[in-house]
Structure 1
Amino acid sequence: MPIDFSKFPETLDALHWMLGVAVVVLLFLQVLVLTLAVIVLLRRSAALPAPERAREEPATQSAVTPPAKVEVAPPPKPIILREPTPEAALQLLGLFQAEARLIDFLEEDIGAYTDAEVGAAARIVHEGCRKVLKHHFTIAPVRSEAEGTRITVPKGFDPSEIRLTGNIVGAPPFSGILVHRGWRATEVKLPQLTEGHKADILAPAEVEL
């Protein structure tokens, strides 16, 4: 069968046209698929929960060492001062005057007297004051050791009971010589005051008739 070469170019042009259209369609479909894939990935990233996103952050954030806790010393306790009442002191001074004439002795100018005269008066005052102490107070030494012995003052001692003297260096415990044992009142037995008693009258004036 003879071939008509005059029709061959027309057939070839038609094929080229169909191939071109197919290529354009495929390129459009590829671009469309890629665009849809990008949109899906962006939506998944936006919808990802917070714990999942936190996993992607650097692990050093959770490994940060918290700051050390600084301990603050408690404030010192306030010192409460008690207002003294003069009645008991005046009553005691009145007792010393009544039994030992203590105020008379202290108010007297002893410069004009001899040592023997002062000594004789001091003996009377001493006996009267001792009588008041024995009758109205029970007194005991603060320390039981003999004076002149070496003792140890422990840490946390009460400064109202022990007074340190001399060369004080460092922190307790301290070792030193007991110079004075100190005194402690364990009982007080002052007489009761009547209503209207004037405690400031230490000794009434005496009038001889």
Structure 2
Amino acid sequence: MNRSHIIAAMLALSLSGCSDKDSAEKGNAVAKFDLASHDDAGAGSGSDTMPGKIDPPDAVWRATANGATYGEPGRIPLIELVCDDGMVAATRNIASDKGAKALFAFVGYRGILRLKVESDGKAWRGALRSDDPHWIAVTGGPFYATVAGGGKVISPASSIAAQVIQSCKPQPDATIKGAPGEGEKVEGVESSAAQSPGA
């Protein structure tokens, strides 16, 4: 009988050891799983900021008389950038409801530009001062552009597109919209030339 008690005690100790070993292994497995999951999440969040492959694959930037176009050879450009007296006008050639308004987003490595645009039925159009810092989304490297109903256009870094923006300056005899020009009257401030000498 004593012998049976000894055997039972040995079995109990053996089972207890197995249980502890299984628990330790499970603990390690959970730790490894969490680490792998964290890595996957990190990789996923990082890839979301990448423009991805050029789309469409045959699209290229081309310089025009006063701007640049991006699209496939022989087709209507997907995107047009035009310099007009210190303003850069952006066009996304895609049909939409006439009069509709939206944001034309340029998402780049170094920033995001959300340009207010309006549809004329055939294209979305909007403009912004060339010296606005948000243009870094286009001048700072690869980017993608998207607007309501227009899908995503993915562009490589382009010196042609960047040149349109960086070289766009107002004409000597004109001023950029939204910026008071020299001698222009500002509300609440009188020109010194208009004041009498004895004032």
Q: TM-score range by the shorter chain?
A: under 0.3
Identify, as 1 or 2, the structure richer in strand. 2
Higher RCO structure (Cα 8 Å, ≥6 apart):
1
Q: Which has the larger radius of gyration?
A: 1
Q: Which has the higher helix share?
A: 1
Give the structure-1-normalised TM-score: 0.21
TM-score by length of 2: 0.22
